[in-house]
Amino acid sequence: MTGGGTALALDGIAVRFGAVVALDGVSFTVRPGAICGLIGPNGSGKTTLFNCISGFYRPQRGTIALDGQPIIGLGRHRMAALGIGRTFQNLALFRSMTVRDNILVGAHPQGRSGLLASAFALPGPRREEAASRRRLTEVLDLLDLAGVADAPVTALPFGTAKRVEIARALIGQPRLLLLDEPACGLNHAEVAALEALLRHIRAHLSLTILLVEHHMALVMRLCEHVVALASGRCIADGTPAEVQNSPEVVRAYLGTPARDARAA
Amino acid sequence: MNARRTALWLFGAALLVAPAFLMSGYRLFQLTSMAVYAVAILGLDIVTGYTGQVSLGHGAFYAIGAYTGAILMTQFGWPYWATLPAGGAAAALVGYAVGFPALRLTGPYLALVTYALAVAVPQILRARALESWTGGAQGIVVTAPDPPAFLPLSQDAYLYLFTLAVAALLFLLARNMLSGRQLRAMIAVRDHALAAEAAGIDIARVKTRAFAVSAGITGVAGALGAIVVQFVAPDSFAATLSIALFVGLVVGGSASLPGALAGAAFVQFVPNLAETVNKSAPGVIYGVLLVAALYLMPSGVAGALRRTLPARLRTSTSPGKATPLPNKGATIHVD
Ligand SMILES: Nc1ncnc2c1ncn2[C@@H]1O[C@H](COP(=O)(O)OP(=O)(O)OP(=O)(O)O)[C@@H](O)[C@H]1O
Ligand SMILES: [Mg+2]
């Protein structure tokens, strides 16, 4: 299952929380450079899968490989350095920091200097800081955040705050970007802007995106590959059209809350 | 640095040095003691203010620094100045060790466990088995250093200036350390641990190191305190010391270097003030003043200053100035 031609390979991932089976043998692979959509009704295990890939949960069974390298059990904080960036379904920003500092936290793995080097004002930390700030400028421009760089994040409108999270993930220069419902709560114009951003990232940065979304129209327009989960199982895996027309997917979505039925 | 800032700094330095020549005796001692508290609270601030791990036991690290210094001076003949790094190192080691179990504890649980440390240390210091080192309940008397021959200063003035210099050095090192990547990592751990981990921050490493550095600085303050007070005894390091340091941190304003100074002033002077207001119930007056301070300045003296000072003087890991938020719709311009 693991190997050269895949950015991400999941094989037989199983996660149980007590009696709840959140994931029940999920396997699929994602091509390098793809935007892969991950859909499924509420509680189908999408976020749980993200938490496995980013090391927050350790699956009871199964393997996960990033560019052919197994990553399970390596420790949560090492995932960013390995090239996995993520956003959270519920905003997870550092409340007492400005936009600029929030994003700069994402550059942490690219530095190596310690407390003492900083205390004695050695050149190492200063060099690292300069490098981080150069990348910061690029990311601020890419996400149109330069105008609010010095604002405290608590003062931001929701849509802007979500962009800060994406910026924080991008400044770490990930190979794999995990986006958990980035369009949730955005207005029409913001969703269009998000779509343009993701297209831009695909065109100009070499990274793979795994996109969890309930906004079906967006998924169908953007992704070349869609995986559908239901009750912790993979029920469809293919092109957007194939997945949308799969009888199992149609059945999984029937009778679920209206926000899941926003199909294109 | 422009001329105005240089002038401001020189003025501040002169203001701090002046008491050595204008005051003497108990008055000057109080200022010296306040500088020692400022260093102790600075240490506490790193772990509690910046990294968000509440410690109600920093008096223990202070005591470890003080006893290490006193023992080295009296039993090993170390010069007084050399005991400061030693006291700091001893406290930092213990702090590092405490940092590991602390990883599993949060909020009130961590506060209580560190408080237990504060309660235990004076009893350990009184223990029979350690008496040949610690002097038991009697403690250890330390002789105060004489000013170097080339300085025409009284002993009190010299002690004040020496303490001031050590405090200034530690505040400078702390200011450097609490900047850029290190500062962001600490605050990230405090604000949102999961997001910090996802961003590649090793929480365990940040927390244990913060504990070590924090305890180390408070340990230096302890060693300094032993020299200044010329005496260490278990009763000087009762759990109330830990509480006093915590009160100083909160009243001064956590996660702020000037806040540590303001907190030290509160810890040093408010109990005396309470005593002069009402001799029979100073505790009540102290409590009232404490509540008043917290009511008027809910985020401490530092928080109150931050709201009144111009934005460009505020601390941030970035030198940029805070701009008001443009109230435009969210649009992403791509290509
Ligand atoms: N930490 C946890 N403890 C216990 N149960 C959990 C935990 N996390 C998730 N679950 C359960 O696992 C199942 C999958 O949850 P998950 O959050 O992965 O779903 P999801 O597909 O992301 O749903 P949504 O679309 O609502 O975000 C649910 O039944 C949920 O209640
Ligand atoms: Mg979810």
Question: Which positions ≥6 away from B171 have C-beta within 8 Å?
Answer: B38, B39, B42, B257, B260
**Angstrom distance (rounded) from CA A47 to CA A30:** 17
What integer best gives the mean pLDDT of chain B? Answer: 88
Distance (Å, whole) CA B228 – CA B143? 9
Q: What is the pLDDT of residue B325?
A: 34
For B262-277, the pLDDT digits (tens) are 999 999 999 888 888 8
Architecture category of domain A1-83+174-264 in CATH: 3-Layer(aba) Sandwich (3.40)
Is B115 among the domain residues? yes
Tens-place pLDDT, residues B57-107: 999 999 999 999 999 999 999 999 999 999 999 999 999 999 998 888 888
pLDDT at B25: 87
Q: Is A102 in the pocket of ligand 1 (CB under 6 A)?
A: no
Q: What's the whole-number mean pLDDT along residues B127-134?
A: 89
> Is A78 a residue whose pLDDT tops 80?
yes
Predicted local distance difference test score (pLDDT) of residue B152: 87
Report pLDDT for B313: 47
Chain B interface, best mutation among A108, A140, A156, A195, by max B CB count within 10 A: A108
Predicted local distance difference test score (pLDDT) of residue A127: 94
Q: At what angle do helices B239-252 and B25-44 cross, to 10 degrees?
A: 80
Residue nearest to atom 31 of ligand 1 (CA): A43
Per the document, the length of chain A is 264
Segment A66-81 mean pLDDT: 93
Calculate the CA dihedral of residues A22, A89, B316, B319 and round it to 10 degrees: 120
Angstroms from A68 CA to nearest CA on chain B: 21
In a domain, B273, yes or no: no
| B220 pLDDT more than 50 | yes
Of the listed ranges A23-27, A245-249, B188-192, the least confidently predicted one is A245-249
Q: Is the pLDDT of residue B318 over 50?
A: no
CATH 3.40.50.300 in chain A, residues?
Answer: 1-83+174-264
- Which of A 189-228 lie inside 8 A of B, CB atoms? 189-190, 193-194, 196-197, 199-200
Render pLDDT for A107-150 as a digit per residue (tens, 0 to 9): 999 999 899 999 999 999 999 999 999 999 999 999 999 999 99
pLDDT-derived band at B317 (thresholds 50, 70, 90) equals: low
Instruction: Report which ligand 1 atom has the smallest distance to the Cα of A260.
Output: 25
A149 touches B: beta carbon within 8 Å: yes
Question: What's the domain count of chain B?
Answer: 1
For ligand 1, atom 25: residue with the closest CA: A42
Report d(CA A32, CA A6) in Å as an integer. Answer: 6
Percent of chain B with pLDDT over 90: 64
pLDDT computed for residue A141 by the predictor = 94
Is residue B227 situated within a structural domain? yes
Interface test with B, best of A51, A100, A150 (most B CBs within 10 A): A150
Q: Which domain holds residue B101?
A: 2-238
User: Which numbered ligand comes closest to the C-alpha of A230?
Assistant: 1
Predicted local distance difference test score (pLDDT) of residue B59 = 96
Distance between CA atoms of A94 and B317, rounded to whole angstroms? 13
Whether ligand 1 lies within 6 angstroms of the CB of A122 is answered as no
Q: B162 to chain A nearest CA, in Å? A: 21
Model confidence at A166, in pLDDT bands (50, 70, 90)? Answer: very high
